[in-house]
A and B are shown apart, each in its own frame.
Chain A
Amino acid sequence: MGRKKMLIVGVLLLLGVGFVGTGEIRAQRFPDRPIQLIVPWGPGGPSDLVARVVGDQLGKELKTPVAILNKPGAGGALGAAAAAQAKKDGYTLMVTTQAFYVTAILQPKEVSYDIETTFEPLGRVVETSAVVQVKNSAPWKNLSELLTHIKKNPKKLSCATSPTGTIPHFVWMRLNSLGYETNGVVVQNDPEGISYLSGGHVDFLILSVNPTAPYLMDKSFRGLAVTTEKRVKQFPDIQTFADAGFPDIGSFPTFVAFYAPAGTPKPVVDTLTAALERAMKDPGVLERLEKMRYSAEYLSAAAFNETVKRFVSHVKEMAEKAGIIK
């Protein structure tokens, strides 16, 4: 009786040790459950679409289902807060845009996360650009003509942009601060901006290239400049600010990146980043992203952090100058 009992206890102990395991063993079995991607924006937006396309492939690489959970609100702050509170086990990640940083800089009181410490970037997956565009019937054939006109007629022209905190809005503010003053008409969403320019209700538009692409392609809108350092692949004719002769306007990247809550174990993070990098090499994913007119280039966490540092200091400087930090 005594010996049998000891045997049973011994076996149970052994099994117990096996189950508890060490961190190393857990990581090797990661992932063994579906992974959830929190997107702090509504369905159909850029982060949502990119998260779906890339997340789908990520799931294939990790051999586990990947599900999207939309948690929109407060400029991405609500979803970020939810992701920050998730367990740091690598099963809950966040996919968001540069607004993650911008919202925190502009409204530090409304956000509950810290851009440096709350999350650990896994990598940037796509970059996209905004375009300064006019209707094709407009008299300005290039950026220089438009800006010259604006300088001569300050505060006469109207410019439609996306809401405060977005890249188009920053570009508009930057132009204003450089002496090219226009009346900024903030539109609630991209379709509204397109509709206003199309109907001739505003003089020019600064909006992301993705929703406006069909108009740029069939030439009903004329793109005068892109806001990034490099030109947009699908529209090689649209100059950058530097090409157009205005390098001091600067460059404003829009990007989508994957994040894990800071404190996630390193082996898990490594698995995730490796899988993400592999996913971003898949030709199917690249094709899909290119068709949606995103520049699909994986940037590893280290390189991405460099870009982010510059971006954040740029934004901070502009925001302080314009006095829009609350």
Chain B
Amino acid sequence: MEALSGLLNGFHIVFNPVNLFVCFVGCVLGTLVGVLPGLGPTSAISLLLPITFRADPVSAIIMLAGIYYGAMYGGSTTSILVNIPGEAASVVTCFDGYPMAQKGRAGPALGISAFGSFVAGTAAVFGLAFFAPALSKVAIRFGPAENVGIIVLSLTLLAFLAQGSMIRALMMAVLGLILGTVGTDLITGKARFNYGIGTLADGIGLIPFVVGLFGVGEVLLNLETSIQREILKTGLKGLFPSLKDWKASTFPMIRATVLGFFLGILPGIGAIIPTFVSYSVEKRLSKHPEKFGTGIIEGVAGPETANNAAAGAAFIPMFSLGIPPNAVLAVLLGALMIHGVQPGPQFISGHPDLFWGVVASMYVGNIMLLILNLPLVPLWVQILRVPYSLLFALILLFCLIGTYTVSNNPGDIVVMVVFGFVGYLIKKYRYEVGPLILAFVLGPILEKNIRQALIISRGSFVVFVTHPISVVFFVITLLLLAFPLVKRRKKGAGPGPTLPREVS
């Protein structure tokens, strides 16, 4: 098989000291950058671009790619330990990861995260190696109308995220949609709701928003209720996942890998959406959905696996079509261009050494990351022993630095602080942050795709029914919406199925 020989050639390229070293450096840097809130792979990659000038393209890309998927490993660490996502894609891990840490189960959460990331990363590389050309043809079929189908389905899943009052969750979702409209409208080029503030001209930045809501907001909330933090010092019930944890996580990990992988191939979807979708799906399919949010392993295994699968899958359109599906890979593309290489349809056949070298390095990189992250779990858990009076200052400092590095814009800091207060209020009065973020991310994408689809169809809404892929997603959405109603009617007037209480 041609792919197999290419892969073997790739391993041959990777297993030389220089490439192994840069792969390791990339993975370490990626993990670090993923752990620190706000600081993301984009900043790290652009900082390192000058260094890669002198190197040869293969080594350069191996390192930069390592930073990218490494960041997806590290992002969950702070989500679990201090309820602050290291990466925007790790937001969902906070929902169950942090409660697990509060129950003394930070170790298993971190362990399952690392392992799930490894499974997903490896599967994604496998897909990239053997199915890239075929899969990219599928990705191309998704135009505006099809994207609308997926986004509508994703927004519906929002309903499953709600833990408490549905009204509050929906209120937060609407707030997210409203906040998503701030910025310059794509189609007309007119600025909306930015009130002349330059920083808001491109919208509320995702990183300042998330870091503010979760980072600053969390710190503010904890400063108010400082006493309860001391509980974490005691009762670390084991540092590694138990057999029960492994069993419970198996199917979520498999589902999340598939879900994250296929959603990640599509340009314009990114890594956050697969994590939300995975979380909602796991909650929907679980035998004990009411436990989600209190700290169960499925709530961590799913999202963490999904974001790594999506990150790996993002390389597929990048390498087989030259279409980077997100901003980070766009910078990677820039790095390739500086080296005189431009990915496109002929990339794999035209630069086999580069492609297979990078693919092989991703296998190696995922193994390196697993080895790096698992033994570090006890180390990370020690952070919880630091008195919060010291920890919070450090957290705020990292949030500040991380947010600033996104665009070197002091305005982003102001945004972060403002949403810090918003986040404090939201958490204090027990409103849901999940729907807020999901709607904030999905709203603009949905608006853009609907309008693009309608421009192409010259205003006809029929387009959503005539495009087969779009129809499929709408039908699934309708089924999802109708199913609980049907179920309820069948069981009579009960409030929903009652489940036997499980003792954990």
Instruction: Spell out A's residues near B (CB within 8 Å).
Output: 42-45, 48-49, 52-53, 56, 68-75, 77-78, 81, 106-107, 109-110, 155-156, 158, 163-165, 183-189, 191-192, 194-196, 198-202, 210-211, 213-215, 217-218, 220, 288, 291-292, 324, 326
Contacts and interface: CB of A to CB of B under 8 A. Distances in A.
Nearest to B142: A199
Interface residues of B, number: 57
A210 B267 CA distance: 19
Contacts, number: 160
Contact of B199 (A73, A201, A326): A73
Contacts of B191: 107, 110, 326
A155 B324 CA distance: 31
A78 B199 contact: yes
Given A217-B344, A218-B345, A183 B456 contact: yes
A185 B201 contact: no
Interface string B179-214: 000001011111100001011011000000000000
Given A195-B321, A196-B143, A199-B142, A73 B343 contact: no
A33 B260 CA distance: 48
Contacts of B331: 42-44
B198 A110 contact: yes
B189 A53 contact: no
Interface string B240-259: 00000000000000000000
A233 to B, nearest CB: 15
Contacts of B267: 191-192, 195
B344 A214 contact: yes
Contact of A73 (B335, B345, B409): B409
Contact of B140 (A199, A213, A288): A199
B491 interface: no
A191 B141 contact: no
A218 B344 contact: yes
A73 B184 CA distance: 10
Given A43-B49, A199-B141, A213 B189 contact: no
B45 interface: yes
B495 to A, nearest CB: 43
Given A191-B317, A218-B345, 20 more contacts: A52-B338, A56-B50, A78-B199, A78-B201, A81-B198, A107-B191, A110-B201, A163-B186, A188-B186, A188-B268, A198-B140, A200-B143, A201-B144, A201-B456, A202-B456, A211-B322, A214-B346, A217-B344, A220-B345, A326-B190
B198 A77 contact: yes
B270 to A, nearest CB: 12
Contacts of A326: 190-191
Q: 6 closest A-B pairs (Cβ-Cβ)?
A: A214-B344, A164-B189, A201-B143, A44-B334, A43-B46, A74-B201
A44 B333 contact: yes
Given A48-B334, A72-B407, A195-B323, A291 B456 contact: no
A42 B40 CA distance: 14
B53 interface: yes
A296 to B, nearest CB: 14
Contact of A71 (B186, B202, B342, B409): B409
B340 A70 contact: no
Contacts of B268: 188, 192
A37 to B, nearest CB: 12
A43 B406 CA distance: 11
- Chain A interface mostly: mixed
B498 to A, nearest CB: 47
B330 interface: yes
Contact of A188 (B317, B448, B456): B448
Interface string B311-327: 00000010001111101
B407 A214 contact: no
A74 B198 contact: yes
B337 A214 contact: no
Contact of B456 (A56, A71, A158, A195): A158
B344 A43 contact: no
B187 A186 contact: yes
B11 interface: no
A49 to B, nearest CB: 5
A74 B202 contact: yes
A69 B267 CA distance: 28
26 contacts: A42-B42, A43-B45, A44-B46, A45-B334, A48-B334, A49-B334, A49-B337, A52-B53, A68-B46, A72-B407, A77-B201, A165-B189, A183-B455, A183-B456, A185-B452, A189-B330, A198-B321, A199-B141, A200-B143, A201-B143, A214-B343, A215-B344, A218-B344, A218-B346, A292-B337, A292-B338
Contacts of A44: 46, 327, 330-335
B53 A56 contact: yes
Interface string B108-141: 0000000000000000000000000000000111
Which of A70, A107, A195, A324: most chain B CB closer than 10 A? A195
A218 B267 CA distance: 22
B452 A288 contact: no
Contacts of A202: 456
A199 to B, nearest CB: 4
Given A43-B49, A288-B338, A213 B344 contact: yes
Contact of A288 (B46, B202, B340, B347): B340
A52 B346 contact: no
B438 to A, nearest CB: 19
B458 interface: yes
B322 A214 contact: yes
A164 B188 contact: yes
Contacts of B187: 186
B198 A78 contact: yes
A291 B189 CA distance: 32
B463 to A, nearest CB: 11
A218 B350 CA distance: 11
Interface in B266-299: 267-268
B408 interface: yes
Contacts of A194: 321-323
Contacts of A217: 344, 346
A218 B142 CA distance: 22
Interface in B327-364: 327, 330-335, 337-338, 340, 342-347
Given A73-B407, A185-B455, A52 B140 contact: no
A106 B189 contact: yes
Contacts of A68: 46, 50
Given A53-B338, A218-B346, A155 B458 contact: yes
A150 B462 CA distance: 23
Contacts of B140: 195, 198-199
Contacts of A185: 144, 452, 455-456
A203 to B, nearest CB: 9
Nearest to A324: B189
Given A49-B334, A158-B455, A185-B455, A110 B202 contact: no
A100 to B, nearest CB: 15
A202 B327 CA distance: 23
Contact of A110 (B46, B49, B196, B337): B196
